[in-house]
Structure 1
Amino acid sequence: MGSAAQQSESGKRRRALPWAVLGLWVGLLVLIAPFSGKLSDVQVNRAVDYLPTSADSTQVARIQDSLPGGEATSIVVVYHRDGGLTEVDRTTAADQIAQVDGDFDLSAEPQAVTSQDGTTVMYPVSTTAPGQDDEARDDFVAGVRDITRGGDGLDVKVGGPDAISTDAREVYGSLGGPLLYTTAAIVAILLVLIYRSPFLWLVPLIVAGIGDFMSMGVAYGLHELFGTTISSQSSSVMTILAFGAGTDYALLIVARYREELRRVVHPYDAMRAALRGCGPAVLASSGTVAAGLLCLLAADLGSSRGMGPLGAVGVLCALVAMMTLLPALLVLLGRRVFWPVVPAYGSQPKERRSLFASMGSSAGRRPVTVLLGGVVVLGALTLGTLNLPGSLKQEDSFTETPDSVVAMKTLAEAFPERGTEPVVVTAPTDKADAILGTVRGTSGVENAELGRSGGGWTEITVITESVPQTPAESETIKKLRSELHGEGAYVGGPSAEQLDLKETNNHDRVVVVPIVLAAVLLILIALLRSLVAPLILLAAVVAVWGASLGIAGLVFEPLFGFEGTDPGLGLLSFVFLVALGVDYGIFLMHRMREECLDGAEPSVAALTALRTTGSVIASAGLVLAATFAVLTNMPMVQLVELGFTIMVGVLLDTFLVRTYLVTSASLALGRKVWWPGPLSRRPAARSVERELSPTA
């Protein structure tokens, strides 16, 4: 009777718990839905929104906001005709600009500036009417574009920093849907190929989508509670991580669950065994990735600092979904979800020749030679970093050229020796005249005029002799800051913002990189109870990062035609590749350690770990690389560069570094790989009963 009652109770639990988990998730999604839809409303994409408060550019923007009318919206209307403008063209331009002046509250009457060759005339247009409202700014730019039109060979474009910002906001606003759909489609195709089942692939894909939806709500909450900076780049990466990392965890859980179904009668009990087996490793690896990403909180740059928690949110929400909702759905669906290859109780999987066993054997024959050869290859690839283009200009950040960028390129050709974007100096009003004289006397300045005043500050608009965002203009900005040091004045504007972005990124790289390395090293030491093994993994992922940037340097300009490199690429790619690379290394080394604890010799343990974890983690690496590859199809150069670099790094780590180099290093070092832990000094007694199976 007692046994029958226990079995009945166990049966009820098997049926009730999965349904309870499913019900909790439904309730959670209902609660979080109103917040998930608001994430796009709080995104910021202006360079000045990313900068630290101490930067000159940030101070200038803050002071401009306090001046009458707030921060000015500055654009340039460009009229151009190949062969030279006609009198009719000039009249048309003057009439259209007069209409703009009449329809909008401009700061001053626009004045025509004609190029020496007579092909181009530009009208700088500025207004403070929109204030800080991005939607109003965009409406102003759109209104000017509606009025200023060409035809019959007369080309008219609206450019300038705020027109570029308007085009950027339009592009960023269009990213969400295509990014989500493309990512889901890529993951779906790979899951169909991996599982070879018409049904199974749907389950992890749906759960990954739910994890992404949850992460959007949590990210909005972080913004509201802590003011976390959210950019289109960081929210895009969050979606990629929710799908990529979530699918990786699903692959590991499903593989172990499939194996347990052959040994256990009930799916509920099989899932419990699967989670006991692979759960600790999944938790450890996801925790390491999240910890690595959270190190970005030490960055000064707002976009990088916001990327850390958002990336961690994507990973952790995917983890929660895959460790709770995925098991519940799989248990409720039972064995039939694996059709047509159903893992029946008591059956044996088909024996297949293991590719990773062959790769391990090749590394095992000459481990030192393989290790040195791999190091040479990675070192040679790293030299490609010398070919990386310089810093990315604002107008070069689009993969498809919008009208605002066409306008700026036209101006650069028509006025090759003249600045076309103003540098802004904000000066204390009581010192404004003296500071204006200093600015006019600074080498590289063509002209400077006083602008608005208010709140104890006066605005000075500076036109330099150099083309915007060039080394010559950057040198002029540095001279201005040096000349005005101690006067209480600040130097800002679009070009100064880009200069501050570059300098802040350089500072963050020096600060954040050591923190990431230290944090990940400490976690690995705690997990693997060794010093040598963690150092091997860290050295491997750092080598992958260098090689990935090297490959990027070989293709960005020659193949993709990119004119520059995002200043934040080095830091962000380092954090992601170190965190994600170590993630996979944990599975390999954890399994290797497990084999050694069972009494296996280090060489046997290394080859067994590679053979038993290789196929699942290779599938996971392909999925993660493919999800980051989605970013290469986005219309912003920053996203393409980040996606390409991480994709290449994940593939290098999956099929070269982890497979050959880490395995070869472990074979060459033998028991020393576990120094100074007990496994490095004496063979461990074989366990009477294994806690984890070979596919843990």
Structure 2
Amino acid sequence: MSPTRKLASLPCGRRSKWVVLALWLVLLLALGPLAGKLTGAEDNQASSWLPGNAESTQVLNEQRAFQPVDTAQAVVVYQRTSGITPADRAEAAREAVTFASVPRVAGPVVGPVVSADGQAMQTVVPIDVGSNGWNDLKPAVESIRGTATANGLGLTTHVTGPGGVAADQAKAFAGIDGSLLAATVSVVIVLLLLTYRSPVLWLLPLLSAAGALTVAEAFIYLLAEHAGLTVNAQSAGILIVLVLGAGTDYALLLTARYREELRRHEDRHEAMAFALHRAGPAVLASSATVVASMLCLLVAEMNSTRGLGPVLAIGVVVALLAMLTLLPALLVIVGRWVFWPVRPAYGTPEPTRSGRWAHVGAWIARRPRKVWVGTALALAACCAGLVSLNAGGISTAGSFTGKPDSVVGQQVLEQHFPGGTGSPLTVVSSAAGAPAVQAATQSTAGVAAASPPVVRDGRALFHATLTDPPDSSAAKATVDRLRTAVHAVPGAEAKVGGDTAVILDAGRAAANDNRAIIPLVLGVVLLILAVLLRAVTAPLVLIATVLLSYAAALGISAFFFAHVFHFQGQDQAFPLFVFVFLVALGIDYNIFLMTRVREESAQHGTRQGALTGLSATGGVITSAGLILASTFAVLGTLPLVAFAEIGFAVALGVLLDTLVVRSVLVTALTMDLDRHMWWPGRLSRADAEADADARTAASPAAGERPPGSG
């Protein structure tokens, strides 16, 4: 037995299968309690999302010298269109005193301040952000909302500002792990039942994937607590979807190959060893592609993007280990009966060889060039929707799928006060240069007012209120003008931060990440494919098809976002996240197909290998794609536009890749290119030699006449 076969037989040996099961049980018992602590280890403070070297981040760090705790301003806005009365002012003043006693309120409560038109008031309440970020803001804001809405004078009240928005975001993320897990598991169960048509078999992949998620969350928790790994609500939520989706994909591929080998081998242990030997390299290469792509995110400027990479990479590695050890052990332990009612009996024919995908392959084989050209043109036409793509960022109002109280309050605030009220810019400088910096600030177009500087330890800090809404393009332009003005003050070492500056810096960092990471991911994936397929042509063709699939998915998604869902736009990181997921996961299915095609091509030639590979893997890859697409679509259940857009685009892209690109486009290209697909590898020469031998055998020997001549 070869060394690779020996290695493949370890999880499924007659004794070793029990050892593997015992090890996993011990691991789950030891790490299970830690997995539940991951939510508590999340860092949802602004610094965990921002670019580490951005000017706005530096201002956040300097602010700590001027205030003992990090605070977010909650703005209570009162409105009476008929005009604010003296009784309204008195009631708002009493409530301001009450706000000061709310837990986590830090510093003086400012207000109420009546608007110039006399129709609204605002009270600013600073809230201690705490170590748990927006999770600490939520109860304080809810308490303030309860007090403000109980005034009984008929005023319309809302709580907005950075504190109110963050509290509504926390509410949107509340229970995200549990709700995403429940929804994803439900989707996986339904699709596994439809795929296997067995009342029992679905349980084993699901248990293996759930075990992988538990272990991954525990490891990530330990790294977050003791190694400084940054985990936030975004990465924790996507982790659930990716581990369950990708893990189930690997399980489907392995189980399908195992069922195939059970028809060839009487001993189920031997059948599983062969299945692992044959399918293992494809699963390993697939997971390596995903892991490598995720680790490319480590070069990102955005802290949230950089932290996402290792979190998801760990999840995929653990999912791989579970599907190559725990799942094989479980399948061998339970035996053939788990496939009931369609048990793969020894010696029976493999039904996929004459199934639906075999007919699709035969149809493609009749005219492969016309098929791939037509398919490529159709996908290129879908790219036209890219004109609707608006990945310049999402405003506060556009970030929620609904209209929470903070969004309504922000709109009311903008009607009666300067647009930047409640979200001022923060300017820090040297104490000596503070007067000049303040003068430069007040003379900058777009700045409504500047507060007096506060001086401490040789540094000064003051706030500047903008005339435009803090998330508007005009406000961002004001930040650029202000930075130019204050940076020009000699010796002031001035910096500009605040909410608008954060939005501006995050957008620019995301654009830089797009330019740096996308080519890096392509290069890494291309290298893995070249090593796996031992060719140059095939990896280039596969990369081109995945890029076309990505562009088509982005085009269709952008059209739907703009004209069907009426979303305001897309987050700056949207193209990058969709690219990384679709390229990494899209290549997965091409790896599953092409490793089987290469295996069959070595024995029967490339055209026949493509037919056999498609008929053998078509069903399982399509099922895997449906499951992965459905798990990502679950992200759309969250009331946040950024998650809904990522979920929709990735789900659509996966479906395009499995149903169109992999099954039709790649198969047709492989048949048309034939042996050249494997250039310059041995298979490209072997096919040529086989063709020459066939022509020689078919031609008459020298000196002989062809039959029927003369």
User: Which residue among 501, 526, 546 is the counterpart of 2:531?
Assistant: 526
Distance in 2 between residues matched to 1:217 and 1:129, nearest whole Å: 26
Distance in 1 between residues matched to 2:129 and 2:208, nearest whole Å: 47
1:648-667 correspondence to structure 2 within 5 Å: 648-667=652-671
Counterpart AA for 1:670: D
Name the structure 1 match of 2:339: 338
Distance in 2 between residues matched to 1:37 and 1:377, nearest whole Å: 46
List per-residue Cα deviations over 1:73-92 (Å, max 9, x = no partner).
Answer: 31111112344444443432
Name the structure 2 match of 1:626: 630
Matched position secondary structure for 1:491: strand
Name the structure 1 match of 2:255: 254
Q: Which runs of 5+ in 2 are unaligned?
A: 1-8, 691-710
Counterpart AA for 2:542: L
Name the structure 1 match of 2:510: 505
Distance in 1 between residues matched to 2:217 and 2:484, nearest whole Å: 44
Name the structure 1 match of 2:95: 96
Cα pair distance change 1:60/1:646, threshold 3 Å: same
Name the structure 2 match of 1:515: 520
Name the structure 2 match of 1:190: 191
Name the structure 1 match of 2:704: none
Cα pair distance change 1:673/1:140, threshold 3 Å: same
Matched, 1:640 2:654: no
Distance in 2 between residues matched to 1:286 and 1:78, nearest whole Å: 51
Report which stretch shifted further, 576-585 or 160-169: 160-169
Using the TM superposition, give the Cα deviation of residue 410 of structure 1 relative to its aligned residue in structure 2, in angstroms.
1.8
Q: Which runs of 5+ in 1 are unaligned?
A: 1-9, 687-696
Using the TM superposition, give the Cα deviation of residue 122 of structure 1 relative to its aligned residue in structure 2, in angstroms.
1.8
Counterpart AA for 1:71: D
Instruction: Say whether the 8 Å CA contact 1:281–1:587 is kept in structure 2.
Output: yes
List per-residue Cα deviations over 1:155-175 (Å, max 9, x = no partner).
Answer: 211111022112222322320
Name the structure 1 match of 2:581: 576
Instruction: Say whether the 8 Å CA contact 1:597–1:685 is kept in structure 2.
Output: no
Using the TM superposition, give the Cα deviation of residue 252 of structure 1 relative to its aligned residue in structure 2, in angstroms.
1.3
1:286-685 correspondence to structure 2 within 5 Å: 286-349=287-350, 353-389=354-390, 390-415=392-417, 419-485=421-487, 487-600=492-605, 602-683=606-687
Distance in 2 between residues matched to 1:337 and 1:485, nearest whole Å: 71
Distance in 2 between residues matched to 1:285 and 1:72, nearest whole Å: 45
1:252-291 correspondence to structure 2 within 5 Å: 252-291=253-292
Name the structure 1 match of 2:141: 141
List per-residue Cα deviations over 1:207-252 (Å, max 9, x = no partner).
Answer: 1111111110121233234422212111111111111111111111
**How many pairs align?**
674
Matched position secondary structure for 1:347: coil
Distance in 2 between residues matched to 1:341 and 1:599, nearest whole Å: 30
Distance in 1 between residues matched to 2:132 and 2:593, nearest whole Å: 52
Q: CA RMSD in A?
A: 2.4
Cα pair distance change 1:16/1:681, threshold 3 Å: closer
Report which stretch shifted further, 479-488 or 309-318: 479-488
Matched position secondary structure for 2:433: helix
Using the TM superposition, give the Cα deviation of residue 545 of structure 1 relative to its aligned residue in structure 2, in angstroms.
1.3
Instruction: Say whether the 8 Å CA contact 1:418–1:467 is kept in structure 2.
Output: yes
Counterpart AA for 2:341: P
Using the TM superposition, give the Cα deviation of residue 618 of structure 1 relative to its aligned residue in structure 2, in angstroms.
0.7
Using the TM superposition, give the Cα deviation of residue 415 of structure 1 relative to its aligned residue in structure 2, in angstroms.
3.9
Q: What is the percent sequence identity of the aligned residues?
A: 42
Report which stretch shifted further, 147-156 or 162-171: 147-156
Distance in 1 between residues matched to 2:129 and 2:566, nearest whole Å: 38
Matched position secondary structure for 2:145: helix
List per-residue Cα deviations over 1:165-194 (Å, max 9, x = no partner).
Answer: 122223223201110011001000001111
Matched, 1:68 2:67: yes
- Give the TM-score normalised by the residue count of structure 2: 0.90
Using the TM superposition, give the Cα deviation of residue 139 of structure 1 relative to its aligned residue in structure 2, in angstroms.
4.3
Counterpart AA for 2:96: I
Report which stretch shifted further, 36-45 or 198-207: 36-45
Using the TM superposition, give the Cα deviation of residue 111 of structure 1 relative to its aligned residue in structure 2, in angstroms.
3.1
Matched, 1:224 2:225: yes
Name the structure 2 match of 1:690: none
Matched position secondary structure for 1:111: strand
Counterpart AA for 2:59: V
Name the structure 2 match of 1:235: 236
Using the TM superposition, give the Cα deviation of residue 60 of structure 1 relative to its aligned residue in structure 2, in angstroms.
1.0
Using the TM superposition, give the Cα deviation of residue 259 of structure 1 relative to its aligned residue in structure 2, in angstroms.
2.2
Counterpart AA for 1:483: A
Using the TM superposition, give the Cα deviation of residue 655 of structure 1 relative to its aligned residue in structure 2, in angstroms.
0.8
Report which stretch shifted further, 75-84 or 658-667: 75-84
Cα pair distance change 1:120/1:47, threshold 3 Å: same
Name the structure 2 match of 1:21: 20
Matched position secondary structure for 1:343: coil
Using the TM superposition, give the Cα deviation of residue 632 of structure 1 relative to its aligned residue in structure 2, in angstroms.
0.9
Name the structure 1 match of 2:695: none
Using the TM superposition, give the Cα deviation of residue 373 of structure 1 relative to its aligned residue in structure 2, in angstroms.
2.2
Cα pair distance change 1:439/1:350, threshold 3 Å: closer
- Give the TM-score normalised by the residue count of structure 1: 0.92
Cα pair distance change 1:668/1:350, threshold 3 Å: closer
